[in-house]
Amino acid sequence: MQGNTTPLAERMRPHSLHDFVGQEHLLAKNAALRKIIESGNIPSMIFWGPPGVGKTTLAHLIASATNRAFFTLSAVHSGVKDVREAIEKADKQRFFGGSPILFIDEIHRFSKSQQDSLLHAVEKGIVVLIGATTENPSFEVIAPLLSRCQVFVLNPLTQEQLELLLRRAIEQDLILKQMRIQLQETEALLRISGGDARKLLNALEIVIQAQNSDEIIITDNLVQETIQKNILLYDKQGEQHYNIISAFIKSVRGSDPNAAVYYLARMLAAGEDIEFIARRMIILAAEDIGLANPNALLLANSCFQAIHNIGMPEARIILAETAIYLATSPKSNSAYLAIDAALEQVEKTGDLPVPLHLRNAPTAFMKQLGYGKNYAYAHDYTNNFVNQEYLPENLSGTCFYTPGDNSRENEIRSFLKNRWKNKYGY
């Protein structure tokens, strides 16, 4: 297999609907999408389905079957400028064979403004839009655009269909068919693929490339041993996904902006969901920075809102700015420890009665029972503070929050010590 750099999954991409595996509910004789393709009158559409079931391939086949120009954009790496440039190119070709097809992979990652930039071209027939998404388009595609598209749901591939793809690759690929490959067991390959045809063929190729022989017997043990040694790909549903986000979080927590930006780049290059990254930074801002710098949480939340509005590729700058800010911020996990300590106490002691003086007394009967009696209103006292009990009687003096050792929380410690003296050990 030396010398060929085209991946097996790409080499095995079907060139006609006859070779396409799966989605019989759409492509069988007299099925809805098959009729549309054969008519040549292609509407804008959205393909919704899990990864590796043929969304991109099907878009290519529709363009080929109808002799239309084909333009493609990735929502992960394209901005409004890229969309406009693609539409301009399409506009110049639409009188030569019908409106070109503009295929947008992962269209759910496009921001509202990016999706808005498509509307005019779709309405005027400058392009036929085909979007691919793994997310429910009802939630991820703006209503004006969705109303102009037909949605087709693509189903996961069955075990039989995946095994057919494996046999077809071994028997028909120009390189593999020259080798003596016996497909003895398939369970490990199918499990690794998770129903994704592209991952399935990538895994098969890795196993074959790792053997120094033209005669290979593929077993589950061989697949497991080989994949564990060789597969270093970023998998958004697998172990590497968790390894990378873990390294990112630990780098920010450890105040290393260089490592943080590196792992951020790894995730962006692999097409990680940018909102997933932003959500994790919001959590980190509360858990690991907390009261040492309360502005960190505000910035992280603003980052989430901004990238949702802007989308990629510009969102990478906002994410990087936030990651660097969080990495270089003072750290404290005091709030995280405080709530966990309080939850642990609640688990041990259950529903302890709230002190009577802290209870509301909206009725005369409640007042007779002593609800709210002797409650001291803090604002009636010097410095807006009065020394009274707020915890249940059995927990009086229990300390859950211990200020961290940083300038901001040292001020908090002094504030609390001045108010509560030695009650909580500050």
pLDDT along the chain (426 residues), means of 10: 69 87 88 88 89 89 88 77 83 75 86 82 86 85 87 88 90 87 87 82 85 83 74 51 85 93 87 88 95 96 91 90 96 94 91 90 85 92 92 92 92 92 88
Position 5 scores a pLDDT of: 65
Predicted pLDDT at 232: 45
Q: Is the distance from CB of 125 to CB of 94 less than 8 angstroms?
A: yes
The architecture of the domain spanning 239-327 is Up-down Bundle (1.20)
Q: Quick one: pLDDT at residue 236?
A: 52
Token duo for residue 382: 């010097």
pLDDT of residue 174: 87
DSSP 67: T
Identify the CA nearest to 426 among candidates 402, 398, 390.
Answer: 402
Coil/strand/helix, residue 423:
coil
Instruction: Label residue 29 left, alpha or beta by phi (over 0 means left) and psi (-120 to 50 means alpha).
Output: beta
CB of 156 within 8 A of CB of 50?
yes
Q: What is the CATH number of domain 342-420?
A: 1.10.3710
Half-sphere exposure of 383 (CA within 13 A, CB side): 8
- As a whole number of Å, the end-to-end CA separation of the chain is 69
Q: How many CB atoms lie within 10 A of CB 228?
A: 8
Q: What angle do CA 322, 327, 333 make, to 5 degrees?
A: 110
Of the candidates 119, 127, 121, 64, the residue with the CA atom closest to the CA atom of residue 93: 127
Pick 22-153's CATH classification: 3.60.20.10, 3.40.50.10490, 3.40.50.300, 3.20.20.70. Answer: 3.40.50.300
Identify residue 42 by its one-letter amino acid code.
Answer: I
| Matching fold, domains 159-230 and 239-327 | no
pLDDT score for 231: 46
CATH number assigned to the domain covering 159-230: 1.10.8.60
Does pTM top 0.85 for this prediction?
no
Of the candidates 74, 60, 137, 129, the residue with the CA atom closest to the CA atom of residue 106: 74
- Give CA–CA dist 127/134, Å, rounded: 22
Domain residue extents for the chain: 22-153, 159-230, 239-327, 342-420
